[in-house]
A and B are shown apart, each in its own frame.
Chain A
C-alpha cells in the first residue's frame, strides 16, 4: 500500500468517525433536553435581552457576585 492510499483510507475512516460523532451530538442534544437536564432554547434569549442591566439567562458565578449589585 502506498502512502497516498494510506492517506486515502485514513481520510475515509476519519470521515466515518466524524459522522458518528455528529449524529451522537444530535442524540445528546435531544436526550438531555428530554431528560430535563438542559433547556437549550432559552439561550436564544441572549440576543434579545442584552442590555447591561438585563438579567443574564445564566449568570456567570465567577463574575456576578462582585459586579452585579442591582
Chain B
C-alpha cells in the first residue's frame, strides 16, 4: 500500500469521460440543430440520402445526448467526486482503476455501436431504448462494472457516512438497472425463427397496452434516473464545493431524496393519459406527478439557499451562474411537468410541441448547464490548470441562456396553438382545421426554435474550445484550489 504522503486522487478515468462528454455534446447538439431546422425547412431532409432524414436522426439525437453526452457527464463526475467525498483514491486499488478503464473502453464501443447502428436504421423501435439486443447486453456489462467500482470504492472509504451525492449515484445505478432490464426484455428472433432474419433483430416480450405501460414506466424513469437523480448528485457536490458553502440543510436533502424515490417511480402513467390503460392508473400518474413538485423543489430550494449571504458570487463567478440558473430551470421544468400531467391540460398538450419544449427547458437549462459547470470545475483540478477564459464562459452563458429561452417560449406558443387548432370545432361540430393548416401556422415558431438551438450549439462550441484550451494551455496551478475555480 502506498504511503499517504504520495497518495493523490486519481482522475485518469474521470478525464476520459470528460472528453467524451464534450465530443458527444457537440455531435448530439449538432444533430439537434439539424433536425430542428428540418422541421422548419423540410428540404433539409435530403442532404445525406437516407442517413440524413428526420426519422433516422431524431432517435440518434436523443440517444447521443442522453447516452453519450449526459451519461459521460455522469460517469466523469462520479469518478471525480466519489473519490473525494469517500476520501479514497482510485489509485489505491489497481483492480478498481483497471475496471474503470475497462468500463470506459466498453462504453466507447457501445456508444460507437449505437451511433452506427442507428444511422443504419437498426432499431428496436422503443423510445430511448432503440438499441438492439447485442448492445443491450453490452450495456448491462458496463452498468455492472460501474456498480462493482462504486461499491468497491464505498468498501474502501475513510469517511464513514455517505455524502448525499453518493446516495443519488447509488439510486441512479439501482434505478436504471431495474428499469433497463425490465423494459428491454426482448427475444432475439434468430434463435427462435430457425435462422430467418438479421442476427441483431429482436422483438419485445410485451405487447399492446402492456408494452406501452412498461415503455413509459421506463421512459419517464429514464428522465428520473438519468436526467434528474444523478444531476442532483452533481449539484449537491459541485455547488457547495465551488461556492465554499455547505448545503443549506442536510436534513432537507435527505428528506427530498426519499421523497423523490417514493414518488418518481409512479409518475410514468402521465405519458399515457386518455389512453387504454386503467383509469385509476392514469389518475395515479397525475396525482404522483403533482406531488413530485415537493421533493423536486426541496432539492432546488436547498441549492438556492446554499448561496444565502453569498449572492455576490453569482456576479463574480460564471460557474456559479450556470449552477444557479440550472437549479432555477430545474424548478421551472418540475413545475411545468406536473401542470402538463393534469388530465385536462394534457388533453391539449399531448402530442404537441409543448412536450419537446418542456423536455428542453429541462435538459438544456438544467442537465447540460450542470454538466458544463461540473466539467470546468473538474478541469482545473484534473489538469491542474486555470480555466482558459472567463469571458468566453460568460459569453457562453448568455448566448445559451438566450437559446434556451427562444427554444421553450417558441414551443410553448407552438404547442398550445397546435393543441387548440386540433380540437377547434365550428357550430355544427365539424373540425375547423386540417393538419396542414397547423403546419403552416407553426412555421415561424419552428424557425425560432432552430435559431435558439443554433445559439445553444454555438455556446457548446465555445465551451469545447475553452475546455480544450484549459486542458492544454491554461496557466499551470501549483496548488489545487480549495473552492472557487481560478480563471483567466
Contact = CB atoms under 8 A, between A and B. Distances in A.
B85 A46 contact: yes
B250 A40 contact: yes
A47 B157 CA distance: 14
Contacts of A44: 240, 246-247, 250
A8 B85 CA distance: 42
Interface in A32-62: 33, 40-48, 50-54, 56-61
Contacts of B196: none
A30 B158 contact: no
Given A30-B251, A58-B159, A43 B278 contact: no
A8 B255 CA distance: 27
B5 interface: yes
Interface residues of A, number: 38
Contact of B159 (A48, A60, A70): A60
B165 interface: yes
A41 B7 CA distance: 29
Contacts of A57: 159, 161
A67 B255 contact: no
B89 interface: yes
Contact of B249 (A26, A41, A47, A69): A41
Contacts of B159: 46, 56-60
A67 B246 contact: no
Contact of B258 (A25, A30, A40): A25
A63 B411 CA distance: 54
B84 interface: yes
A63 B24 CA distance: 39
Interface of A: 4, 7-8, 11, 15, 18, 22, 25-26, 29-30, 33, 40-48, 50-54, 56-61, 63-64, 67-70
5 contacts: A33-B251, A43-B163, A46-B161, A47-B241, A60-B158
